[in-house]
Chains A and B, each alone.
Chain A
Amino acid sequence: MIKGFAVFVAATTALYCGFSRGDEPTTETKKAAAKVAVELCSFCHGPGGQSISPLFPRLNGQVEQYLVAQMRAIKSKTRADPEASEFMWGMVRSLDDSVIIGLGEYYAKQPPMHGTSKGPAELIEKGKGLFHNGVPSKNIRACADCHGENAEGQYIYPRQIEGASLFPRLAGQHSAYLVRQISVIQSQLRDSPTMHGIVRQLTEDEKQALATYLESI
């Protein structure tokens, strides 16, 4: 009994304490992260992550742990879709993990992205239906189930980032960027087993509708 309790306590402690984000950012590394964000990231991702070019994702208000996981994956080349290797690997390869965490925190704290453009009403309506209901006939589940009712993204414990369930914020993201990401996941240029299974049957029209809706909210 006592032994079993001790194991439970140890496991619980490990779950909530041992699985930290990694090197916690200090004031100095937060400053370093902010400097990197302003002097480097902002040229493509925009001030505070509010990018204007659809080639580069908006980062403001993104789920912190998702950002950290992506930067780590790009740095270690476990995320190797073309854009990750062509543009981003060089940017993150020399960043300390604490600066990466600081960048995740920096962008997560920015006012979240919201729709800046409206597409055709019909397309938005179709995308909204896909987002909230999926495509039952093709066993495509609703995006909202994981990404949140308002596509705000979410992070599900356990607290460690690797292995955790991370769902990025999609609301307000560039539609062209979203279509591109769904496509590279479909073609497995970007490794994402869970998402691949869900999106692999989406048609071009469905991708465009979904992305148009998400950019509009």
Chain B
Amino acid sequence: MRNANLKGSWAFLLALTFAAQLPIGKAYALPVFARQTGQQCIACHISFPELTPYGRYFKLTGYTIGERQWVPLAMMAQEGITSISNNTMPDGSGSVINRDNNPLFAGYSIFLAGKATDYLGAFIQYTYNNVSNPSQPAAQLKGATATDNTDIRAVYKYYQPSEQELNYIYGFTLNNNPTVQDVWNSTPAFGFPFTTSPTAPTPGAATLIDGGLAQQVAGYGVYGYFKKTLYVEFSLYQTADGMLSWMRHGQDANSEARLQGVNPYYRVALTHDWGPHSAMVGAYGINARVYADNNNPSAGTNRFVDNAFDAQYQYITNPHVVTSQFTYIYETQHQDANFASGAASYPTDVLKTWKAKVTYYYERKYGANFQYFDTAGSSDPLLYPAGTPVNGFTAFGSPNSRGQIYELDYLPIQYVRLMLQYTAYNRFNGGSVNYDGFGRNASMNNSLFLNIWFAY
């Protein structure tokens, strides 16, 4: 029976794959930015969402290039199949993930995006997540809607009358995820992988800036890009409360990150383009105080100081494209509240993450990606507790995880991506063999994910 289901599931995906290749005509009716600019997706994207130099310019100028749309809406949806290496709980009591080897509709997003005026534009994403609680039994899976990535910009441009190019772009951003406003794909919000299995197990430790505040905060800042060489930005992040609470709509009030006061974020980048090459080296970081208990502010805060180095290189020709991104994040965790309450073993912990990814595309249609990722830090048995099968940490509380992602992409048309992604772990939540103390090895969490991603 299971085999029959399995065959049917993969046949379903293959049928979708075939359907996606049916000729539906060369369309200019593309997602909202394409409709606004009259350009096709590849003008701005190597392959969505990775940006080309022109795509970065479009974002830096506040999504204002082109003609304002009367219906500035777009949508996207994803459906996929996940298969993990070992889906049996260590004690044989059930499955590790739900709907293994079965097609699963991941969800869809609606975008309100594009140009409002010559100086004002926005990217606002609202998402229905069909698997908002993947760890629950299959019968209890449920969907939820929430505000997703949001970036609203006001922008100004300046050049001397004698100059023949736009040498000064500066603006204001209001967003809900540190680095979502960034235009390089080496930073977390739009970094690789661009999508992953909604159900496969993932490592339990990550730095705060690496998604820890996503869609939970409100940030406002100023940025400038000078002579196509120097980019600087300074922003302040706070809990998205009051009139900004819509920016975290749908988040769980008990588990979301809540910030004390305003918290500084910085970004600096040096860029250089020559011939078909485009390169960037930069740094970014945040210093944030996060409440230990959302319902009890008197429990105090923990302070996270994240400093990151990143770099990006792109070689763009027709038909060959090679791109690469690298980031290294060093986080110092001042566990002031956690240490006092017994939730952390030490007053200070360190967590470091680095990721390196390389991509090749042929004719912007056939792509291959490889990423190596490594998270390591100081062991803390209270912060990274053992005792839970699959998602627990090693007995000595190590946050270390390491692995690779291999991904093949095929875009039969520019707003459909068929993706085959394999994630392999050498280390998971602190160990390689029996990391959770229940007999599970890191490699048992390896996953194969076949996904189809539509945008319109």
Contacts and interface: CB of A to CB of B under 8 A. Distances in A.
Contacts of B165: 38, 42-43, 46-47
Interface stretch (A90-98, A127-135, A154-162): A90-98
6 contacts: A40-B65, A43-B57, A52-B275, A55-B316, A89-B28, A89-B38
A176 interface: yes
Which 6 pairs across A and B sit closest by C-beta, in order of nearness? A90-B38, A47-B164, A42-B165, A90-B39, A47-B165, A86-B40
Given A42-B166, A43-B165, A53 B39 contact: no
What bracket does the count of chain B residues touching chain A fall in?
20 to 34
Given A43-B57, A91-B39, A53 B316 contact: yes
A199 interface: no
Q: Is the interface of B mostly helix, strand, loop or mixed?
A: loop
Nearest to B273: A52
Interface in A14-59: 37-40, 42-44, 46-48, 52-55
B90 interface: no
Contacts of A55: 276, 316-318
Contacts of A94: 38, 67
Interface in B163-189: 163-166
A201 interface: no
A93 B38 contact: yes
A37 B322 CA distance: 29
A180 interface: yes
B42 interface: yes
A38 B53 CA distance: 16
B58 to A, nearest CB: 9
Contacts of A85: 26, 28, 40
B146 to A, nearest CB: 32
A189 to B, nearest CB: 12
A38 B66 CA distance: 15
A87 interface: yes
A180 B363 CA distance: 13
Nearest to B37: A90
B444 to A, nearest CB: 44
A74 B134 CA distance: 49
Given A43-B54, A47-B165, 19 more contacts: A38-B159, A38-B165, A39-B159, A39-B166, A42-B164, A47-B163, A48-B164, A52-B274, A52-B275, A53-B53, A54-B275, A54-B276, A54-B317, A55-B317, A86-B42, A86-B43, A87-B43, A89-B28, A89-B38
Contacts of B26: 85
Contacts of B40: 85-87
Contact of A53 (B37, B43, B66, B273): B273
B142 interface: no
Contact of A37 (B39, B54, B66, B164): B164
Contacts of B274: 52
B7 interface: no
A90 B404 CA distance: 39
Contacts of B273: 52-53
A93 B37 CA distance: 9
B256 to A, nearest CB: 39
A38 B317 contact: no
A90 B42 contact: no
Nearest to A56: B54
A91 B38 contact: yes
A53 B157 contact: no
A38 B163 contact: yes
Contacts of B39: 86-87, 89-91
Interface in B272-314: 273-276
Contacts of A53: 53, 273, 275-276, 316
Contacts of A40: 65
A38 B166 contact: yes
Contacts of A91: 38-39
A90 B33 CA distance: 11
A9 to B, nearest CB: 45
Interface in B340-371: none
B38 A38 contact: no
Contacts of A48: 164
A71 to B, nearest CB: 13
A127 to B, nearest CB: 20
A7 B327 CA distance: 76
Nearest to A89: B38
Given A39-B157, A53-B275, A87-B43, A180 B318 contact: yes
Contacts of B276: 53-55, 176
B121 to A, nearest CB: 15
A37 B165 CA distance: 8
Given A54-B317, A55-B318, A176-B317, A38 B164 contact: yes
Interface in A102-137: none
Interface in B35-81: 37-40, 42-43, 53-54, 57, 65-67
Nearest to A87: B43
Nearest to B60: A43
